[in-house]
Amino acid sequence: MFLRGLSRWQAEAQREAVADVYVASYNGSAGGAAPERERFLRRLEDHVQRPGFEMVLAGGDRPVGCAYGFRADRSGVWWPDFPEGPPLALMEVTTSPRAFVVAELMVLPDQRRRHIATRLQQHLLARWTPSPAVALFPQDNAAAGAAYRTWGWTRTGNLHPIPPTPPLALWTHHRPLN
């Protein structure tokens, strides 16, 4: 098992493999759930173009996990479910011009509990020290919340985007200078 950072071009070249990991991670089977797969691919296409885009893949011959993110844009363009711009709670934690958004962190179900997600998020955030990082995910995702808490993140609020997006937990991570 190894981790490797990808350039934008490499990320775009790996998009189908990353989409397989996404579908299998959230729906249990690679190649299925076409509408969610297509929605993910559209999001990924947009995210790859963001300033400061970073992606890390875990695996050997095939990816078994992926994490990616980008520099936060205070205009709110990076989170379209808030049409009037980012909520105050989000703006407060992204005041740094180098704040980083962890947009996706996923590991195949049969590869979980092997510290792959831990290594992915550490590798992804290594370049952004000491800048703050932000993650948003559904409030009812207890497993994600437990993992982020273990990694030193703090739940700093709840956000209510327009439906059908569920209520989101806002997590932040501030890494000190070494």
In this predicted model, which residue has the larger pLDDT, 16 or 127? 16
Place of tokens 């327009």: 162
How far is the C-alpha of 37 from the C-alpha of 21, rounded, in Å? 10
SS3 63: strand
Locate tokens 């030193």: which residue?
A: 152
- Distance between CA atoms of residues 27 and 36, nearest Å: 9
Q: Could you tell me the pLDDT band of residue 115, with boundaries at 50, 70 and 90?
A: very high
Whose CA is closest to 159, among 138, 133, 134? Answer: 138
Reported pTM: 0.84
- Count of H-run helices and E-run strands, the chain: 6, 7
Q: Which domains does the chain carry?
A: 2-174 (3.40.630.30)
* pLDDT tens per residue, range 24-82: 998 754 444 556 889 899 999 999 998 889 999 999 889 999 999 998 866 555 555 55
Quick check: 177 pLDDT over 50? no
Q: Are strands 54-59 and 154-159 parallel, antiparallel or unpaired?
A: unpaired
